[in-house]
Chain A
Amino acid sequence: MKPENKFSTGRHQEQAAESQSAESLAAHTAAHEFQSVEDLLRHDAAQTTVPPEIARRLSESIAQPAPRHSWWRKLLG
């Protein structure tokens, strides 16, 4: 399935609605003014750094054998 382009011409009405709500959002920082809630969240996501501890912990966990479920847990789901 091809994902719908959320910012294609078919979504002008939605974009207008987004902009309307964005007017009341008035999300300003020293350098940014956001056009919609989604823009604000995208900016926030772009600023987010994934802690390097996650990859380190993952590599350690992968080195461990996967936990084995007992036969009765498999049976009972």
Chain B
Amino acid sequence: MNQACAETQRTEAADAQLLPAELSALYTAHSRAIYYLALRFLGDSQKAEDATHDVFLKALRHLNQFRREASARTWLYRIAINHCKNMRAAWHDRHVFASSENEYFERLPGGESPLRILETKELGGRIQKALDGLKPEYRLLLLLVSDQELSYEQAGALTGQTADAVRGKLFRARKAFAELFQKTE
């Protein structure tokens, strides 16, 4: 785990102290993965915040279902994917990128140097633009397999396909992303 990752996890652990014990550990361990998936899948920080809130609230209210699942991360992803797809189906505003990125980066914690913020903002903006240009299925697959806690089998189960199908689509998704990413320079 790199330094930035460790720092954000400490922040999430501090935030989780507000929550009841049964949700606190889940939130500390998985909130960043869920928020990141929502942020980059929806392309809007406010909607990602709403989605993350709703996912963990649903998780708390259905904890009995989680205990039958093999992996908390997979279970939370399943809730998040369904929720984000429903949100995308419910709104048709596809031009939220420009304003949302600025809003997101205004939330970076204090102490970040202006150069670091500029770098992060530029890179995050380019990633979002490239992801926005992908088919939603490719975008979701790339986001899922970039999580090292998730296997191709699990990514396939979450998206209703085999691991082999995931591999085939990933090849095309990476190529499409690389082309789109280059255009953002």
Q: A54-B35, A62-B19 are in contact. Are A49 and B8 (CB under 8 A)?
A: yes
Q: A59-B18, A62-B60 are in contact. Are A26 and B35 (CB under 8 A)?
A: no
Partner pick for A47 among B52, B120, B143, B154, CB 8 A cutoff: B120
Least distance between B119 CB and chain A CB atoms (Å): 5
Q: A17-B171, A59-B19 are in contact. Are A46 and B2 (CB under 8 A)?
A: yes
Residues in B neighbouring A54, C-beta threshold 8 A: 15, 31, 35, 49, 52-53, 56
Within 8 Å of chain B (Cβ to Cβ): is A70? no
Report whether A58 and B57 are in contact in the complex, using a CB–CB cutoff of 8 Å: yes
Residues in A neighbouring B150, C-beta threshold 8 A: 3
Least distance between A72 CB and chain B CB atoms (Å): 21
Least distance between A55 CB and chain B CB atoms (Å): 4
Q: What number of A residues sit within 8 Å (CB to CB) of B? A: 44
Residues in A neighbouring B107, C-beta threshold 8 A: 49, 51
Interface-lining segment among B80-88, B94-102, B173-181? B173-181
Task: Name B's interface SS.
Answer: helix
CA–CA, A34 to B14, complex, Å? 31
Report whether B143 and A41 are in contact in the complex, using a CB–CB cutoff of 8 Å: yes
Residues in A neighbouring B32, C-beta threshold 8 A: 45, 48, 50
Least distance between A19 CB and chain B CB atoms (Å): 10
Question: Residues of B with Cβ closer than 8 Å to A?
Answer: 2, 4-5, 8, 11-12, 15-16, 18-20, 23, 27, 31-33, 35-36, 39-40, 45, 49, 52-53, 56-57, 60-61, 70-71, 107-109, 115, 119-120, 122-124, 127, 142-143, 145-154, 163, 167, 171, 173-175, 177-179, 181-182
Q: Provide 9 A-B residue pairs closer than 8 Å at the C-beta atoms, listed in order of the A residue.
A: A3-B151, A37-B174, A37-B178, A38-B146, A41-B142, A47-B120, A50-B8, A50-B31, A58-B19
